Amino acid sequence: MGDDIAAGRARWQARYEAARKRDADFTTLSGARVEPVYGPPEGAEPPGFDRIGWPGEFPFTRGLYPTGYRGRTWTIRQFAGFGNARQTNERYRMILESGGGGLSVAFDMPTLMGYDSDDSQALGEVGHCGVAVDSVADMDVLFDSIPLGETTTSMTISGPAIPMFCMYLAAAERQGQDITRLNGTLQTDIFKEYIAQKEWLYPPRPHLRLIGDLMEYCAEHIPAFKPLSVSGYHIREAGATAAQELAFTLADGFGYVELGLSRGLDIDRFAPGLSFFFDSHLDFFEEIAKFRAARRIWARWMRDRYGATTQRAQWLRFHTQTAGVSLTAQQPYNNVVRTSLEALSAVLGGTNSLHTNALDETLALPTEQSAEIALRTQQVIMEETGVVNVADPLGGSWYLEALTDQIEAEAERIFERILRMGGGTDTEAEHDIGPMTSGILAGIHNGWFSSEIAESAFQYQRALEKDEKRIVGVNRHTSTVSGELEILRISHEVEREQRAALAERRARRDQARVDAALERLLAATRAPESSGNLIPVILDAARAEATLGEICATMGREFGGYVEDPRF
């Protein structure tokens, strides 16, 4: 064992030497030199060390890269969008000018549900929880003066993800960019919509058809673009425990792997396009353990169960957002402290990308000032605390490693439960996509996921009410001298203007071209799944300036809707 440790360290050392490092000062505040990684002392034989290992090596418990953040720090990716495309474009430019590393689009509720701003369903909601995007014309404005070939953009949208992605591609073409080289992430994850967030358009099967088409299209034509961000965030925010968040999300990821495999795609080509998105909540060590367990479980399942052979196909890369649900309306300045601690957990867990919430987000979308504090929070951690100097600085902590093992074991128990719901692993021939996918679909249809989450939320709420769990400013230390916050208010004028702009664009576009593109889309949607990929057809509609509502409704004529069974 001692030799293995020495051999492992030598292997890590060779890879570290060969890797690119940032040109930075890797010493403590007092000037002391620190090693890029720490491990067991020479001659020690810690049991189970192969589960911990070295950064950059399977099972990647300690991170994906031998250099950790010495190679590259995480991407500061602040989720933003409000009002119309012009206002949001100004915010993006502010973020990029202030040191934000990538963009992340928040759409408004009508857009997330596939409605145009002039739809009766959109009334009163346009531009409120994000930006309104009706067609590629809005995309043009959203990214005005931001060359899409030079930034990475994340788009948080799932039901209408594919039409929105096509509008993004069409806008990039109009900027003169080579769309095959675009890099970014589309959320797309529909499983978590049925499980937690409840923003779907169609039943699961048609959504999976579209997602399969997208995975195939990106792997073939836009290899750097990540078509799926498998999301635990919304599951956690709905009330799940850390282990449930981890297990449901990874199970969803396995479901998409099975989808890719069922379409005959090469796992080593499509798996790097799957990335993840987690919550970082307030239990400092539990969150770090969750992130480390996530990497380990994913790598093992990808290699041993699904046959991924390259490191990139075994890597779990993830974005993190600090927990929106942990923010309080009472004494809102305390939220800066909460967010800092949650962000630190994410960083110590090795996040690849991070959003820090603003202190006022429990009340409204952030003001420019609160958005700046949120951004600066990440920069303080990155530039001042020294945590970026050492890869996985907490690796080997007895408490943390035990917690990592514990949360991993709990996740494995949940995977077994999901597999059983789908009929288990022994009847694989009966599963048209795969056993995990069958389990997930069964759990969605019978309400299992929702009721598990509801039960956890209930238990936590009860613990709060019994004073077993505590929140400063809410059930502890409630007296305060802090006053009211100025919050951002979106004027209803935005909706009027957006509707007027949409009417004007509808009037000046080539209507015959739009009609023909939508006809072709309807025909392609009606054709059997095996007859062709829908993405090029949707892209043509987007290029013709068909609106999001028109594209989604056209597919909806064939795909139909989905209503969840009521449950008490």
Piece of the chain touching ligand SCA by CB under 6 A; list 44-52, 66-74, 281-289, 295-303: 66-74
Closest among 272, 358, 285, 356 to 316, alpha carbons compared:
272
Should residue 206 be labelled a site residue for ligand SCA when binding is judged by CB under 6 A? no
499 binding ligand SCA? (CB under 6 A) = no
The least CB distance from residue 102 to ligand SCA, in Å, is 5
Q: Cβ 415 to ligand SCA, closest distance in Å?
A: 22
Question: Which residues does 21 contact at the CB level (< 8 Å), separation at least 6?
Answer: 67, 70, 71
- 233 contributes a contact to ligand SCA by CB under 6 A: yes
Q: Which of 226, 236, 290, 295 binds ligand SCA (CB under 6 A)?
A: 226
| 3-state SS assignment for residue 231 | strand
User: Is residue 71 involved in binding ligand SCA (CB under 6 A)?
Assistant: yes
The C-alpha atoms of residue 21 and residue 19 are separated, in whole angstroms, by 6
Q: Does 269 bind ligand SCA (CB under 6 A)?
A: no
Looking at beta carbons only, is 254 or 559 nearer to ligand SCA? 254
d(CA 444, CA 192) in angstroms, rounded, equals 9
Does residue 204 interact with ligand SCA by CB under 6 A?
no
d(CA 450, CA 468) in angstroms, rounded, equals 25
State yes or no: residue 91 binds ligand SCA (CB under 6 A): no
Task: Supply 26's token pair.
Answer: 């890797």
Among 117, 135, 321, 335, binds ligand SCA (CB under 6 A): 321
DSSP at 175: T
104 lines the binding site for ligand SCA (CB under 6 A): yes
CB of 346 to ligand SCA, least distance (A): 11
What secondary structure does DSSP assign to 321-360, as a single string?
A: EE-GGG--SSSTTHHHHHHHHHHHHHHHTT-SEEE---TT
Report whether the peptide linkage leading into residue 66 is cis, meaning its omega lies within 30 degrees of zero.
Answer: no
Comparing CA positions, the residue from 390, 306, 317 lying closest to residue 60 is: 317
Contact between 281 and ligand SCA per CB under 6 A? no
322 lines the binding site for ligand SCA (CB under 6 A):
no
Size of interface with ligand SCA, in residues (CB under 6 A): 28
Per-residue DSSP letters for 24-43? S--B-TT--B--S---PPTT
Which residue's structure tokens are 């998409």? 256
Residue 152 touches ligand SCA, criterion: CB under 6 A: yes
Q: Which of 277, 291, 298, 301 binds ligand SCA (CB under 6 A)?
A: 277
How far is Cα 258 from Cα 254, in angstroms, rounded to an integer?
6
Based on the shown chain and the rule CB under 6 A, indicate whether residue 67 belongs to the binding site for ligand SCA.
yes
Minimal distance, residue 276 CB to ligand SCA, in Å = 7
Min CB(267)–ligand SCA separation in Å:
17
Angle ∠(557,558,563) on CA atoms, nearest 5: 80
> Which helix (H) or strand (E) is 230 found in, with range?
strand 228-231
Contact residues for ligand SCA (CB under 6 A)? 19, 65, 67, 71-72, 75, 77, 79, 102, 104, 152, 154, 156, 185, 187, 224, 226, 229, 233, 275, 277, 317-319, 321, 324, 352-353
